[in-house]
């Protein structure tokens, strides 16, 4: 589909991180973009400030009659009045993933997939390419701190970078020139029959790579190459004998430093400012993709070393004597383990308090044991109720169920307000807020609470 022939777009769920990047892209291309979302957020406020018309009530009469295309996500309830009105009126409709696929098909696309790590790798890769000689247009799954946006725009570049989302098999709408796969851990078992079917979906994603393209895979993942296709495959890892790997890795003042061994050269002096071994791994993945796309060693060093991170990805909010506060999007047991484990490795003598909001009843049910093990790594656990998102409750699946399984003795089940009250009357040494629901709304409240305490 040639989106340039369409002039009026309406987004159902415009405040979503992927939806808003597409809305920004079309708006900047000169199209008229408007939309609905159920809740105003800083991101929707930014879209409005950029000139998009957004409302927050289910009002079918506010859908413009001259809309050329309605864009929606699987998260939109099927009984939403606007959705029913749009279907009844026969508007042309397209899922977010389809639109992303249509737009990215126009260029050489570098797509980053994985059950975790993809947002950081996508954004880091974009930060190497965008200011460098290659340039890129990027659709990000988070707000890049270097740019305060989830869209980077360079229409003159031959490259597009996109986060490839496995939820609802969305990434199968992409046909990249280069694909990165960071992880295939079990997740979204409400969508996939089992872990094996999820892994098969990643193989189908790899099969979408264009002729003469590239596949970059974390060492140890079994992703078969499509038969009869000229696709070059590379592995990456922190250690071992991968095609792209770290050498001379050392930790100094909380920062990892290393040299990058590539198939053609050694790039010395990489020093990602983001802490944690998992961010070393993310850096290697991003650098591998950029190197294959033709970025120079200097561009890769500069991109990695000046990358400020992504909001809500190991996001330092307060760092002063007596209090370190980090906000993270972790919502899967492996992500929690990586985040908490990294904090523990960096600050082995300090006490860690974590506020966690489980995301989805199905995920909580399917990975309850994993969640309890990861959260038991904390010294103090504050557990919020499950954020349902698109789901209805499941009998017996509650945060209280999860709380019983956590081995940490200092554990509490709270509302968000009760959690703030608990923090106010305690003195956390290290505080983590963790989860993918609306726990991010607590971040400014926590910052305000501890700014008062400091005063």
DSSP state at residue 387: B
Question: Could you tell me the domains of the chain?
Answer: 3-96 (3.40.50.720), 107-305 (3.40.1190.10), 315-454 (3.90.190.20)
180 phi, psi to nearest 5 deg: -115, 135
146 three-class SS: coil
* pLDDT tops 90 at residue 399: yes
Residue 439 CB neighbours (<10 A): 24
Band of pLDDT at residue 78, cut at 50, 70 and 90: confident
Average pLDDT over residues 85-101: 95
Average pLDDT over residues 329-338: 91
Average pLDDT over residues 286-311: 97
- Of 192, 150, 193, 153, nearest in space to 171 by CA: 192
Interstrand relation of 149-152 and 137-144 (parallel, antiparallel or unpaired): antiparallel
Q: Which pLDDT score, from 0 to 100, does residue 66 have? A: 95
> Which CA distances in Å does 94 have to 20, 25, 74, 152, 173?
15, 16, 11, 23, 12
| Mean residue pLDDT across the chain | 92
Q: Where are the alpha helices (DSSP H) in 324-398?
A: 333-346, 361-366, 368-375
* pLDDT tops 70 at residue 190: no
Average pLDDT over residues 12-27: 96
Least confident of 206-215, 285-294, 329-338: 329-338
Average pLDDT over residues 326-338: 92
Q: Which pLDDT score, from 0 to 100, does residue 378 have? A: 97
The rounded percent of the chain whose pLDDT value lies above 90 is 77
* pLDDT tops 70 at residue 455: no
Tokens encoding 89? 């009126």
* pLDDT tops 70 at residue 158: yes
295 or 273, which is more confident: 295
Whether residue 93 contacts residue 86, with contact meaning beta carbons closer than 8 Å, is answered with yes
230-249 confidence digits (pLDDT tens): 999 999 999 888 999 999 99
Q: Which pLDDT score, from 0 to 100, does residue 219 have? A: 95
Band of pLDDT at residue 254, cut at 50, 70 and 90: confident
345-383 confidence digits (pLDDT tens): 889 999 999 999 999 999 999 999 999 999 999 999 999
Full DSSP string of 175-196: --SEEEE----S--TTTSSSHH
* pLDDT tops 80 at residue 3: no
Q: Which pLDDT score, from 0 to 100, does residue 160 have? A: 98
* pLDDT tops 60 at residue 1: no
Whether residue 146 contacts residue 127, with contact meaning beta carbons closer than 8 Å, is answered with yes
With b for 16 or more beta-carbon neighbours within 10 A and e for fewer, the 221-232 pattern comes to eebebeeeeebe
324 three-class SS: strand
* pLDDT tops 60 at residue 28: yes
- Of 253, 279, 411, nearest in space to 339 by CA: 279
Q: Which pLDDT score, from 0 to 100, does residue 186 have? A: 65
151 or 76, which is more confident: 151
- Of 79, 82, 88, nearest in space to 34 by CA: 82
Residue 266 CB neighbours (<10 A): 11
Whether residue 355 contacts residue 439, with contact meaning beta carbons closer than 8 Å, is answered with yes
């Amino acid at each position: 589909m040639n989106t340039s022939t369409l002039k009026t777009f309406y987004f159902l769920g415009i405040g979503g991180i992927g939806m808003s990047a597409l809305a920004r892209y079309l708006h900047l291309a000169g199209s008229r973009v408007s939309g609905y979302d159920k809740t105003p957020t800083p991101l929707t406020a930014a879209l409005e400030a950029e000139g998009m018309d957004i409302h927050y009530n289910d009002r079918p009469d506010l859908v413009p009659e001259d809309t050329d295309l309605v864009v929606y996500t699987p998260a939109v309830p099927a009984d939403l009045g606007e959705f029913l009105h749009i279907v009844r009126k026969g508007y042309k409709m397209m899922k977010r993933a389809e639109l992303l696929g249509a737009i990215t098909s126009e260029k050489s696309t570098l797509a980053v997939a994985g059950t975790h790590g993809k947002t950081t790798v996508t954004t880091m890769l974009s930060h190497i390419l965008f200011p460098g000689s290659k340039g890129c247009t990027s659709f990000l799954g988070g707000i890049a701190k270097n740019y305060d946006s989830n869209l980077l725009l360079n229409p003159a570049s031959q490259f597009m970078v996109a986060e490839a989302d496995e939820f609802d098999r969305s990434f199968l709408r992409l046909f990249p020139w280069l694909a990165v796969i960071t992880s295939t851990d079990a997740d979204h078992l409400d969508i996939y029959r089992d872990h094996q079917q999820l892994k098969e979906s990643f193989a189908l994603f790899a099969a979408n790579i264009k002729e003469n393209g590239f596949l970059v895979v974390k060492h140890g993942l079994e992703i078969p190459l499509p038969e009869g296709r000229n696709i070059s495959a590379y592995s990456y890892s922190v250690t071992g004998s991968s095609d792209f790997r770290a050498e001379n890795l050392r930790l100094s003042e909380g920062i990892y430093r290393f040299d990058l061994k590539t198939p053609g050269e050694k790039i010395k002096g990489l020093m990602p400012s983001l802490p944690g071994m998992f961010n070393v791994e993310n850096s290697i993945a991003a650098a591998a993709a950029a190197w294959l796309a033709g970025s120079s060693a200097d561009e890769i060093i500069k991109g990695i070393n000046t990358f400020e991170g992504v909001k809500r990805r190991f996001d330092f909010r307060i760092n002063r004597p007596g209090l370190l506060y980090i906000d993270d999007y972790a919502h899967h047991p492996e992500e929690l383990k990586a985040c908490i484990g990294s904090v523990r490795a960096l600050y082995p003598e300090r006490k860690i308090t974590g506020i966690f909001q489980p995301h989805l009843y199905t995920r909580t049910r399917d990975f309850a044991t994993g969640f309890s093990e990861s959260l038991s790594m904390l010294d103090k656990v504050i557990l919020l109720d499950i954020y349902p998102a698109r789901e209805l409750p499941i009998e017996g699946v509650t945060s209280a169920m999860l709380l019983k399984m956590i081995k940490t003795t200092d554990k509490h089940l709270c509302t968000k307000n009760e959690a703030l009250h608990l923090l106010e009357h305690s003195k956390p040494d290290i505080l983590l807020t963790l989860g993918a629901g609306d726990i991010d709304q607590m971040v400014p409240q926590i910052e305000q609470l501890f700014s008062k305490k400091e005063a």
